Chain A
Amino acid sequence: MPEWLQKNENYMPREDKDTFINKSILSFLALIARIKAQDKKEDRFQANAFFRVLFTLMLVVFVSVSRTFSFIYLVIAYLLLLLCFMPGREIAKILRTGLVMTLFTAIILLPTVFYGNTYSIFIIPVKVLVSIIAVNILSYATRWDQITIALKRFHVPDLMIFILDITLKYIVMLGEFSVEMLYALRLRSVGKNAGKYNALSGVAGTLFLKSRDMAEDMYAAMECRGFTGEYRICQKFRFGLADAAYLLINAGIIYIFIRLY
């Protein structure tokens, strides 16, 4: 046995601030988890995605335009009611995003009190909260392929839907790929990592090159299967009890908005 193998060594890696790798891994994983959670989603008792997208947009516009607090208050009541039907974990996530943004807005607006501004300091954070909750209810409660179908019904061009579809799928694929690279980077970064930027640019650069390869592979796959980028909706447009209830509620919101405006 060579001599150097028998020697006792006490190697202590030098401390280094490598949080950027861990933080990157975490943000990638959170993103992938968010998209993957979509697959497991069952269709709950809910209205057609077409109506949900349409009326969520309407609600956001109304809230933004509205100048009376009573209307916003009613919308808050309605949204809280919707939240009641969602799983607790999702409610927590939706409320957390909304409240963080609201707090941020309130802090930003705080100095305007000195300008004698009492309207915006109160109403704008509330409006921000309401809009974020409304959009997040849509995004958490609706499967994204349903949103794509809704977009097709709105006559969004096929090219746009096609790009949207690929983007979502490849965020997951490329995201998993980069997480693996980041793990590899972390395993190899023992002690002081002097070339932080080189390491990171290697990961991001390889990601770009990989994305190019994947695009070519995908086109080949499309060609083999005869897909020309044209979308057809195979699902029939059904109008059920949930749709009727949803339409009724939203008709009520429109009426109240007009009355109070």
Chain B
Amino acid sequence: MHIPDNYLSPATCAVLGAAMVPVLGVSIKKVKEEISKAKLPQLGIGAAFSFLTMMFNVPLPGGTTGHAVGGTLIAILLGPYSACLAVSVALLIQALMFGDGGILAFGANAFNMAFVLPFVGYFVYKFIRDRVQSEKGEIIGAAVGSYFGINVAALCAAIEFGLQPLLFKGADGQPLYCPYPLSVSIPAMLIPHLLVAGVVELLFTVFIYAFIRKVSPGMIYEGAKKKSKAVYGLIVALICLTPLGLLATGTAWGEWGMDEIQEVITGGSALNYTPSGMANGFSFSALMPDYSVSGLPDAVGYIASAVVGVALVIIIFKIIAAFKKDAAAKTKA
């Protein structure tokens, strides 16, 4: 899933890189709160561990092998914030020192594999673990979490690819970067991940998790003691997806325009008609149609929309946090 340079436009890379800045900032803050200074070396060694998990070749049916990413496993073992930092560092070393995965695309790669993958994986795991409180629950959580994590990350990568031809075209209308639209990029990325890579990731995670749980259960990250609310997990999932939804100029999966719906591919064949309910439905394109601001080039409007979106999300969360504090103060009093 390492995206090389020139598959994505520099603007996309810049937006995703900018999205990673607050994510990394929050992660560093959280990690500093969670682990004492005594455990700081753990982060570097965790990054080395996450780098090395990709070196293990896992046997696949038929005698072939494949390798896992291990993002969810690291999130379960070290906690999602440490995992985010560890995987980011591993990706940076791969890009800068090994020339593996693009330098410009580092932001995009980090977004998919260091942010979306471990967080989605971890919160699915935690959601299941909190509800099925037994050994089985934990194992099932790790299994479902790792499978979900890698597939959502692959979906993000597919959306990033699929947006390129919509947003960045030359004067002659030819795409400048990845030329495949969402209708091609999503199945192309997701089918192999759903069928093969997801299964490898699941097996790898579950077996190692079970081993460590048996041998040294105290080593596994505890997280917050209290039961996480379903809403909490949902919000995190939404944060993961929000920037992508915003970047999607009208054609994120499930957000097709009227003219596009008939080209949506279901089960290999195009839909070829527009559902009537949609044709006569209410149109919502008042404020920023297709997220492009008239009078500006597409790319600039697109970045501005992304900034507005991310800023709005942060503002909303700050307000929610402020209200929560007030409520907490009230209940104490």
Cβ distance B35 to chain A, nearest Cβ, rounded Å? 10
Contact B49 A208 (CB under 8 A): yes
B77: chain A residues within 8 A (beta carbon): 208
Expressed in whole angstroms, the Cα–Cα distance for A136 and B100 within the complex equals 9
**A101 and B170 in contact, given A167-B48, A201-B211, A207-B49 (Cβ under 8 angstroms):** no
Contact B55 A215 (CB under 8 A): no
**Which of A4-12, A20-28, A79-87, A249-257 is the contact stretch?**
A20-28
21 contacts between A and B (CB under 8 A): A17-B63, A20-B65, A24-B56, A24-B57, A56-B103, A60-B102, A61-B104, A97-B99, A115-B179, A135-B95, A135-B99, A139-B96, A139-B99, A163-B85, A170-B44, A174-B48, A197-B207, A200-B59, A209-B212, A214-B45, A219-B40
Contact A201 B41 (CB under 8 A): no
A61: chain B residues within 8 A (beta carbon): 10, 104
Contact B5 A128 (CB under 8 A): yes
**A168 and B179 in contact, given A28-B52, A61-B104, A218-B45 (Cβ under 8 angstroms):** no
B41: chain A residues within 8 A (beta carbon): 166, 215, 218-219, 222
Q: Which of B7, B52, B97 contacts A168 (CB 8 A)?
A: B97
Q: A48 on the interface (CB 8 Å rule)? A: no
Cβ distance A56 to chain B, nearest Cβ, rounded Å? 8
Q: Report the contact-size class of chain B (Cβ under 8 Å from the partner).
A: 35 or more
Residues facing B in A156-189 (CB within 8 A) are: 159-160, 162-171, 173-175, 178
Cβ distance B233 to chain A, nearest Cβ, rounded Å? 25
**A211 and B53 in contact, given A64-B6, A118-B174, A135-B99 (Cβ under 8 angstroms):** no
Residues facing A in B41-74 (CB within 8 A) are: 41-49, 51-53, 55-59, 63, 65, 67
Residues facing B in A1-55 (CB within 8 A) are: 17, 19-20, 23-24, 27-28, 31, 34
Expressed in whole angstroms, the Cα–Cα distance for A135 and B103 within the complex equals 8
**A167 and B4 in contact, given A119-B172, A196-B59, A212-B219 (Cβ under 8 angstroms):** no
Q: Which of B59, B103, B219 contacts A20 (CB 8 A)?
A: B59
Q: B90 on the interface (CB 8 Å rule)? A: yes
Q: B127 on the interface (CB 8 Å rule)? A: no
The chain B residue sitting closest to A126, CB to CB, is B6
B301: chain A residues within 8 A (beta carbon): none
The chain A residue sitting closest to B48, CB to CB, is A170
Contact A117 B207 (CB under 8 A): no
Q: B18 on the interface (CB 8 Å rule)? A: no
B92: chain A residues within 8 A (beta carbon): 164
Interface residues of B (CB under 8 A from A): 4-7, 9-10, 28, 38-49, 51-53, 55-59, 63, 65, 67, 77, 85, 89-90, 92-93, 95-99, 102-104, 170, 172, 174-180, 203-204, 207-208, 210-212, 215-216, 219
B99: chain A residues within 8 A (beta carbon): 97, 132, 135-136, 138-139
Contact B55 A163 (CB under 8 A): no
Expressed in whole angstroms, the Cα–Cα distance for A204 and B4 within the complex equals 28
Contact A200 B56 (CB under 8 A): yes
Cβ distance A232 to chain B, nearest Cβ, rounded Å? 18
Contact B102 A131 (CB under 8 A): yes
Expressed in whole angstroms, the Cα–Cα distance for A216 and B96 within the complex equals 28
B10: chain A residues within 8 A (beta carbon): 61, 64-65
Expressed in whole angstroms, the Cα–Cα distance for A218 and B41 within the complex equals 7
Interface residues of A (CB under 8 A from B): 17, 19-20, 23-24, 27-28, 31, 34, 56-57, 60-61, 63-65, 67, 97, 101, 105, 109, 112, 115, 117-120, 124, 127-128, 131-132, 135-136, 138-139, 144, 147, 159-160, 162-171, 173-175, 178, 196-198, 200-205, 207-209, 211-212, 214-216, 218-219, 222, 229
Contact A34 B98 (CB under 8 A): yes
Contact A119 B219 (CB under 8 A): no
Cβ distance B5 to chain A, nearest Cβ, rounded Å? 4
A31: chain B residues within 8 A (beta carbon): 52, 55
Contact A109 B98 (CB under 8 A): no
Name, among B46, B52, B53, B58, the residue most crowded by chain A CB atoms within 10 Å (CB to CB): B52
Contact B51 A205 (CB under 8 A): no
Contact A20 B58 (CB under 8 A): yes
A170: chain B residues within 8 A (beta carbon): 44-45, 48-49
Contact A204 B104 (CB under 8 A): no
Contact A212 B42 (CB under 8 A): yes
